[in-house]
Amino acid sequence: MDFSKTNSTWLWNSLDFQSVNQFAAFRQEVVFSPNASAKLYISCDTNYCVWLNGHFVSTGQYLAYPHNKFYDVLELSRHAKPGKNTLAILVYYQGIDTSCYKTGTPGLIYAIRHADSWISNQAAMTGEGSGYQCGEQQLITLQLGPTLAYDAGKETAWKTESLDSTWKPAVKLDFCDFLPKIIEKRPIQK
């Protein structure tokens, strides 16, 4: 799939490509027509979780080499409603080589196929509130990678509530030649 034909670009929450163990929260308000299908086409480095209107949709990026990414197609219609909908995506970037992950560039790309047209990720916002701690963590093993640190007291209602002033437009990485523009569909069903 050529995401450039959907007017979507690779995004991140900053230009920090060196830090390990990053969590980036993204949100976008989208408008859906009644009774129209909606599917999310998504890829990232390293993993993602998706919610629509506060309802969990799916997780699980297909692991690949940095130059050879795969995308997933997620059905959104089950949780979609006519009018304004809130798409929330949490992306985890590991940033350290392990036995099942090769370090790439942090990034997220997605587009929504709604009715017969595309909704791009150009209006995506990014901010804090997931409760996950970014930065270096203790390694479980060299094969398994770092542990994750989570503080439920720092989790906010970022998936559903109004965004505060700390949320900013996501950083577009369309200048990054090392992020693929054409991405293959996941070779194995979830």
pLDDT at 112: 98
Closest CA to 5 of 179, 186, 183: 183
Work out the number of other CB atoms within 10 angstroms of the CB of residue 76. 23
pLDDT at 178: 75
Phi, psi of 132 (to 5 degrees): -80, 145
Whether the CA torsion 171, 175, 180, 183 is positive or negative: it is: positive
pLDDT tens per residue across all 190 residues of the chain: 999 899 999 999 998 888 889 999 999 999 999 988 999 999 999 999 999 999 999 999 998 888 889 999 999 999 999 999 999 999 999 999 988 889 999 999 999 999 999 999 999 999 988 999 998 888 898 888 888 999 999 999 999 998 889 999 999 998 777 788 789 999 999 8
Judge whether 169 and 124 are in contact, CB under 8 Å. yes
Judge whether 173 and 59 are in contact, CB under 8 Å. no
**Which residues lie below 8 Å from residue 6, measured CB to CB, with a gap of 6+?**
41, 111, 118, 120
